A and B are shown apart, each in its own frame.
Chain A
Amino acid sequence: MDFSILASEFASLTFDGIVVGAIYALVALGYTLVYGVLRLINFAHSEIFMIGTMTCYGVTLALGISTSADPLTLTSFSLVFLLIVLTASLASGASAVVLEFVAYRRLRLMRASRLSSLISAIGASFFLTELFRILTESRNIAFPRLVDKEPLFVFSSAYITFDKLLVLIGAAVLFFLLNRVINHSKLGLGIRAVSQDETTAVLMGVNVSKVVSLTFLVGGFLAGAGSAFYMVFYETTKANVGFLVGISAFTAAVLGGIGNVRGALLGSFTLGLIQQYSSAVLGYNWRDVVTFVILVLVLLVKPTGLLGEALQRARV
């Protein structure tokens, strides 16, 4: 127990908490969207994120950027980063669609029990983790430093660096785009309709299979973009990177109210802050225990989360 760090580093912890929360939010949205249409937790979503981080690394390999290279200039960084975000999003989005097709579709059409779908998803999750563990030979993969991390300016104890600002701005843009998609597009209408009442949606002419596929695509897209920000911020990945990010993002989604898009954002930032503060007080190695305890407490005390369950009532 050490509250002195919390007091002296408060601004720094708060800023980092918001940055981490933004990354969690991009992953948490995938959980929430899929939960909305399927009423199921997508256990393999964390592996979709992991595939994104691996793709980011693959892109730097293909571009020939080594880990010892100097950070790029702003113009070349913008181009490289744009390429990384797009490739990672596409890779994660495509994997999510394949995942839905392989692990969920048949069971959904057969109206199998929840237990079957859960076990199928867990199997897929383990298969993917293990596949990448074998491919990477259990190594920690180092990601090259793409951008200078010297602080742009200092606010109290918080060092405002370019990569952290990038995460915040990028996440804000994506949230805005998601908002447009959910509320002002035909796909968004379909997602909201299926979330409200699948049977009626079918009667109204919604192609549920297509909507479910596209929901996985959107969720995978966001997770892929999140993985690009994660890589620029943390600069490392490994085959089981998805596990803890996934648990944190899932906790965030539940904390905000699963199925609720606004809730996922609120929950993510709240959880990011709690993790930073508690790490400062209890020590970093208790961070994941704190996350689990929050998850358990939320589920026991208020399982509908801060803003309530259900996508349909939230207006993003």
Chain B
Amino acid sequence: MGQWAIFRNPYSKVMRCTARAARAAVLAAVAGVAALAQVASATEARVLSPQDIEVVTRVLQFVTPETTNTATVAILFDPQRPGSQSQADTLAAAVPPRAPDSRISLQAKTMPVTALNLEGVSIALMTPGLTDHHQVISAAAAGRRVITVSGDKACAEAQHCVFSVSTVPYVNLWFSRAAARAAGLRFSPALLMLVKKV
């Protein structure tokens, strides 16, 4: 209160000038933050790397009850977004034939978000630019034991993805308990003690 009282002092030109300058600075800062947020939103969308995919496929071992011998990895893309399908194709090619350190075989397939069908899918990887579809994807995964994964931490924070992942410079797995619960997934307690819950 005291500081705002200074701004209202009609007798102090110096103070008025200071107040104007301060307001301008605050407005500039807000504008800057908004601009940064826009940029961040536009680039939200870190493409999952082969290392990210390897980490995610390792998580399959910690799903209870145990995943069956073959797991389907769906790579979701937006057909209306230029380049999205080719990104999905690239990711599909990066999915290894077998989950590391396990007997689980992996089958990759690309899937447009306009024709979502997550029945039988174990992992759904999201290509960049699907932020607007996160909620729909999350709803499609509900109860189907699908591990939804994004390279964007905000997806897990918004409880739309079970995991958000990054591996540079070090491995980070952000876990949404609410998204996992909605998807009907359970993980080993040891894994949940090692990931970051958001």
Please say whether chains A and B are actual partners in one complex. Answer: no
Q: Which residues of A contact B (CB under 8 A)?
A: none
Q: Which residues of B contact A (CB under 8 A)?
A: none
